[in-house]
């Protein structure tokens, strides 16, 4: 037997004995004796018993309220109404009753008393809508987040020392026109390097990625016109014009975009602009892995097709580095020679030029191969400073320009400078935003000087 039930029975027995004594006249009569026991087993008590005793019987939830009432009631008439006076036994346990003395059924919510008016407990409409006061308290309005309006950047060329030069060639820039790229809002931004991931191609399909290529060519038209308006007639096209066009599985022909490519090329030819390309560093013509060489050839084929569809002449060259040495530079150079002479299509080979780099192949390493295969050499001043040759730049440039002349192609060189404060080789490899000086070995009649900087002008 539970403690609460035993407690209730003891209370009932005590009260019954008192009533019997009253009936016999041994004690003074009780005006009213009421014993009311509520055994209310709610979920919290059941949970407590389950934890303490682990009893299966106590685990059952009891939703019935047991009530034992033994009472003697004396009725008194007051002003036409009946009132009950209730006296509880000293050891009786009683739960709080309703205000009118009536017990409330289990599970039924207490009803709120009617207010003086329907709006007594509700905020006024004025304060609710306008964030006013309620019972003297101020309701703060939630501040809206301010949208920052970014003004379109204004590119002001800083004052620099004016220097005299006899250079008569062209100056150009690489791929990204920061003035057009940073236009606001972003929907007005103009650039030709929209790209994606292969997962996006799998999700959206080939037509979607081809649309990116078309949009890049459309923006190229604006960039060519901007160059003409700003007297810039030399530009490198982005290798990401057509994302994954050379991929072994997701590659595609550029014929679908031939019409607009021809339009862009015609505009460049109309203004006399020179357009070139620079396939990425993964274009390894001397790799020791055949699959890598196959991928490099596909990359060159893609760039060549783009230039051909644009109607660009022989001055539209494709610049690549020597690549890795694979622990044997002589063997790697031999593989480059074999790939160029034996595996490249004639139209691809006709546009190919090599460039010295700052880590693996300096100009002195590549020049003999270029002279043997009649592949022009693009001399990079910045790379030569980091990984110099034993031959002076003036001699290298003269020998390289001789190859250009034999092929009937305008010479091309790359100019850039390390970032200010650069000390280590890795720091010096990064390009500065601007070039402050023209190299002293630069010939006056150099056909084109290509600046690898972030901004369009120097």
Q: How many CB atoms lie within 10 A of CB 313?
A: 14
Task: Give the helix ranges, DSSP H, for 83-194.
Answer: 125-130, 178-181
pLDDT of residue 174 exceeding 60, the answer is: yes
Cα–Cα nearest to 434, from 223, 153, 184, 156: 156
Is there a contact between 398 and 404 (Cβ–Cβ < 8 Å)?
no
- Give the model confidence (pLDDT) of 6-26 as tens digits: 555 555 555 555 555 555 554
Task: Give the percent of the chain with pLDDT over 70.
Answer: 62
Q: Compute the distance between CA of residue 406 and CA of residue 370 in angstroms, rounded to an integer.
A: 12
Cα–Cα distance, 234 to 274 (Å, whole number):
5
pLDDT, tens digit, 9 for 90 and up, residues 191-212: 999 999 999 999 999 999 999 9
- Is residue 84 within 8 Å of 75, Cβ to Cβ? yes
- Strand, helix or coil for residue 166: coil
| 346 has a pLDDT exceeding 50 | yes
- Res. 84: pLDDT tops 80: no
**What confidence score (pLDDT) does residue 72 get?**
43
Which one-letter DSSP state was computed for residue 418? B
Distance of alpha carbon 262 from alpha carbon 267, whole angstroms: 9
Highest mean pLDDT among 65-74, 97-106, 381-390, 433-442: 381-390
Alpha helices, DSSP H, located in 117-205: 125-130, 178-181, 198-204
The tally of CA atoms less than 13 A away on the side-chain side of residue 362 is: 14
Predicted local confidence at residue 154, as pLDDT: 62
Structure confidence at residue 103 as a pLDDT band (50, 70, 90): low
Q: Quote the CA–CA distance of 333 and 339 in Å, as a whole number.
A: 10
Q: What pLDDT shows up at residue 193?
A: 94
- Determine if residue 54 is left, alpha or beta; phi over 0 gives left, psi from -120 to 50 gives alpha, anything else beta: left
Stretch 172-183: mean pLDDT: 89
First to last CA, the chain: 99
Please state, in angstroms and rounded to a whole number, the distance separating the CA atoms of residues 280 and 318: 11
Residue 429, beta-bridge partner list = none
- Where in the chain are the domains? 3-84, 170-451
CA 206 to chain centre: 23
Q: Label residue 454 by pLDDT band (50, 70, 90).
A: very low
CA gap 458, 450 in Å, rounded = 11
Rounded Cα distance between 92 and 333, Å, is: 105
Q: Indicate if the pLDDT at residue 79 is higher than 50.
A: no
Q: Which of 263, 252, 345, 343 is nearest to 304 (CA)?
A: 345
| pLDDT higher than threshold 90 for residue 216 | yes
List, as one string, the DSSP characters of 301-314.
Answer: HHHHHHHHHHT--T
Question: Any idea which residue has 């308290």 for tokens?
Answer: 137
Q: What is this structure's pTM?
A: 0.64
Q: What's 170-451's CATH class?
A: alpha beta
Token pair 């862009």 is found at: 264
Asked if residue 86 has pLDDT above 50, the reply is: no
| pLDDT for residue 166 is more than 50 | yes
What local confidence, expressed as pLDDT, does residue 20 receive?
55
pLDDT-based confidence at residue 250 (cuts at 50, 70, 90): very high
More confident position, 32 or 357:
357
């Amino acid at each position: 037997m539970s403690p609460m039930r035993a407690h209730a029975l003891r209370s009932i027995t005590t009260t019954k004995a008192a009533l019997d004594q009253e009936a016999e006249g041994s004690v003074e009569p009780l005006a009213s004796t009421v014993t009311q026991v509520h055994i209310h087993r709610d979920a919290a008590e059941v949970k407590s018993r389950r934890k303490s005793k682990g009893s299966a019987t106590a685990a059952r939830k009891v939703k019935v309220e047991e009530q034992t009432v033994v009472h003697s009631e004396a009725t008194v008439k007051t002003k036409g109404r009946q009132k009950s006076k209730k006296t509880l036994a000293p050891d009786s346990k009683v739960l709080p009753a309703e205000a009118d003395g009536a017990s409330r059924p289990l599970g039924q919510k207490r009803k709120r008393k009617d207010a003086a008016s329907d709006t007594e407990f509700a905020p006024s409409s004025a304060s609710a809508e306008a964030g006013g006061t309620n019972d003297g308290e101020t309701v703060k309005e939630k501040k809206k987040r301010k949208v920052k309006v970014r003004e379109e950047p204004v590119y002001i060329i800083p004052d620099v020392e004016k220097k005299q030069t006899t250079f008569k060639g062209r100056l150009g820039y690489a791929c990204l026109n920061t003035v057009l790229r940073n236009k606001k809002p972003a929907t007005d931004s103009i650039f030709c390097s929209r790209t994606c991931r292969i997962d996006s191609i799998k999700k959206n399909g080939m037509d979607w990625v081809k649309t990116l290529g078309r949009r890049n060519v459309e923006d190229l038209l604006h960039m060519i016109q901007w160059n003409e308006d700003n007297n810039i007639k030399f530009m490198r096209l982005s290798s990401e014009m057509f994302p994954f066009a050379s991929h072994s599985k997701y590659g595609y022909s550029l014929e679908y975009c031939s019409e607009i490519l021809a339009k862009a090329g015609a505009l460049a030819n109309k203004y006399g602009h020179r357009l070139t390309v620079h396939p990425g560093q993964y274009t390894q013509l001397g790799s020791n892995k055949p699959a890598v060489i196959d991928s490099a050839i596909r990359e060159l084929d893609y760039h060549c097709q783009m230039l051909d569809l644009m109607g660009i002449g022989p001055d539209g060259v494709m610049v690549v580095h020597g690549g890795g040495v694979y622990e044997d530079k002589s063997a790697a150079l031999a593989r480059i020679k074999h790939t160029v002479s034996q595996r490249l299509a004639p139209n691809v080979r006709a546009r190919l030029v090599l460039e010295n780099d700052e880590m693996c192949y300096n100009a002195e390493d590549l020049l003999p191969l270029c002279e043997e295969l009649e592949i022009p050499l693009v001399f990079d001043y910045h790379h030569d400073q980091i990984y110099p040759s034993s031959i002076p730049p003036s001699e290298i440039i003269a020998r390289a320009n001789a190859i250009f002349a034999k092929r009937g192609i305008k010479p091309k060189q790359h100019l850039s400078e390390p970032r200010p404060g650069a000390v280590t080789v890795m720091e010096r490899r990064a390009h500065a935003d601007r070039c402050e000086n023209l190299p002293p070995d630069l010939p006056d009649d150099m056909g084109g000087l290509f600046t690898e900087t972030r901004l369009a002008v120097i």
